Amino acid sequence: MKLRLTLWMLGLLLKRALRRKARFRELLTEMRGLDWGIATEDLAIARHYRMSPRGIRTGRGLPVDLDLELRFEDEATALKVLKKPTQQAFLGGMMAGSVRLVGDSGDLQKLQKLLKHL
């Protein structure tokens, strides 16, 4: 339940940053958008985010056409990493096998740049 609420709140924070923070809008415009999602490995909890300079849409589930997916071993691991989304936390989770990245690691770096402006 906590993870679902956290992912929903993340969507609200992204939309708020797009409206209020000029640097967030600039970075998103440079990227020309980013479609990404977060889920547990069993896909019991999953949410995707479609971000473009014109707006941000969020929804349940993981469509197949996303640029980047972050898959976590379980809900507790996801909450632990998402509370402090540092590069070290992601790399540590990937080395331990509790975090899996589906897509380009360059997109993960773009996402981390955006998340700094929330």
Query: DSSP assignment, residue 62?
Result: -
Residues in the chain: 118
Residue 86 lies in domain: 2-115
Q: Write out pLDDT tens, residues 3-37.
A: 999 999 999 999 999 999 999 999 999 999 999 99
Is the predicted pLDDT of residue 44 greater than 90, yes or no? yes
Q: Write out pLDDT tens, residues 64-83.
A: 999 999 999 999 999 988 88
At residue 85 the predicted structure's pLDDT band, cuts being 50, 70 and 90, is: confident
Q: Output the domain CATH number for residue 72.
A: 3.30.1050.10
Percent of the chain past pLDDT 90, that is, above it, reads 73
Angstrom distance (rounded) from CA 25 to CA 41? 31
Counting the structural domains of the chain, the total is 1
Its sign, for the CA torsion 20, 30, 28, 116, is negative
